[in-house]
Amino acid sequence: MFCVECGIKIEQSFKFCPSCGHPTAPAVQLLAGRNKNSDQKPKATPITRLGLAAPAQPTAPRVMHAGGEIQDLYANGFQSKVSWDLSGQTPFTLECEIETSADAATIIAKPFHNGLWRNGGGQGQGKMLFLRGGRVSFDIGWVGCVNGRTNVSDNLRHKVALKFNKRRNKYEIYVDEKLDGDGLQSVPDHPETSVILGLSIGHQVNPMPNNGDMAPNFPNRLTNISNVWYSADGTRPHEEDEEFVKIPLTVPVAVAMPMQATVLVPPQAIKINNPSSGTISAPSSGWQDFCVGGRAVQSSNYSGSWGGAENAIRGNLNSSSGFSGSGSYAHTNPNDSSPTFRVTTKTVCTCFELRVYGRPGYQRRLKRVRVELLDSSDQVLSQFDYENNERKDAAAFKIVYANGVAGVAGVRLQKYGQLQGGDDKTFNLNAVQLWGV
């Protein structure tokens, strides 16, 4: 008998390969709960390896991850980490059910242990099954990406599958059991990568996670994850017309894996240059400004319609000092004791960076600003107090949300605390930009 994982010859009596630890045919047969050569169901007694029991059914119906809950988690084998072979050598089918309204979210990924997409100068050594624009995508390296066609971000239950068809040498995306897209393989994953569930990952070489346009945490229901590799007799990779098995993952691994790859970074405020005019390009490829096309309101206007809030979400920096027309600023009334500026984004998004540009020369009006990211019910998702004690500069700042804030539907700016002599309580804004995916 030969191991279907590493190919070495092993004894018939072995339940696990002594080289790679993969379960052999008898073990897979028992876990499947069915003998392929008969209609008799064997007694589903646990098999133990290294002290970890692996019953035929998962022992925990819910496993928490950063964004929500995972239910009925399965994976291939009894390993110390979830196995997902993306070498381009082994056929597999990865299945799951999703239910979400998010346009962008990670389903399952293989980053390095620091949570990054790549390590050093290599290209695309990490892999990820994720949502992009509400459609299922599988990144197969920087050469290309397999994209589905069906929008699944509708809060309905969808069955999603990724299959590596070795005969076609292609990765295939299925939505609700129908082929939704396919593409060629490119760069194999790196042996030092490991599987995480529902967590976002970064793609740059520097240590900041989520630096780039990778998908954020999965915010809703991610259920029935199954890595289906082997036929019920365990002797060869599956073919189209065979019966396949789901081998359950032991609970201690399921709990530990989502936690070890994530690196939580608190929001950070950084002073930025404040040019008087021009267009600000996206800080990272794939990001867009979700304030443009949204709706802005503020607690008061400078005078009549002058200084309206919409002046700050045009997507450009203003070229004049007026308070009406295309080259104007947002300006609250000087008598407004509690000025507030609010933007409802054009769509719900994941925010990675918020930029606030004050009117050049009036940086004292950008002191003690409380920044709140809001969901669609006006609940605060993230709050950051920007102090700005330096009067001579810092007329513009950005807040970096390295891990991303999912479900953002708006941003609110308001003054907080006691202003000191010489400070200005009004909002006089050149531009407010919310960058994300």
Torsion of CA 74, 76, 82, 87, to 10 degrees: -130
Long-range contacts of 45-50 (CB under 8 A, 24+ apart): 47/15, 47/23, 47/78, 49/15, 49/16, 49/21, 49/78, 50/78
Query: For each of the chain's 437 residues, which pLDDT tens digit applies?
Result: 555 455 556 665 554 455 544 444 443 333 222 222 223 332 322 222 222 222 223 333 233 333 333 433 443 333 333 456 677 777 777 778 888 888 888 888 777 655 666 665 555 567 888 888 899 998 755 556 888 999 999 989 898 988 888 778 888 999 998 999 998 766 777 777 766 666 655 554 444 444 444 666 677 777 766 655 444 444 444 444 333 444 433 322 222 233 333 345 678 888 888 776 777 888 888 899 999 999 999 988 887 667 788 888 988 776 555 545 545 788 888 888 888 999 999 999 999 999 998 887 776 778 788 999 998 888 888 888 887 765 555 578 888 887 788 889 999 999 887 766 656 778 888 889 999 98
Q: How many helices (H) and strands (E) does the chain have?
A: 2, 25
Cα→Cα distances 142→82, 126, 185, 203, Å: 24, 10, 11, 11
For 186, phi then psi, to 5°, come to -130, -95
How do the domains of the chain map onto residue ranges? 49-260, 268-436
**What is this structure's pTM?**
0.44
Query: Which among 366, 431, 371, 358 is positioned nearest to 405, based on CA atoms?
Result: 371
CA–CA distance, 103 with 216 (Å, rounded to integer): 10
**For 268-436, which CATH superfamily applies?**
Galactose-binding domain-like (2.60.120.260)
427 and 365 in contact (C-beta within 8 Å)?
A: yes
For 71, phi then psi, to 5°, come to -120, 145
Query: Which among 181, 171, 161 is positioned nearest to 141, based on CA atoms?
Result: 171
CATH annotation of 49-260: 2.60.120.200
Same fold, 49-260 and 268-436: yes
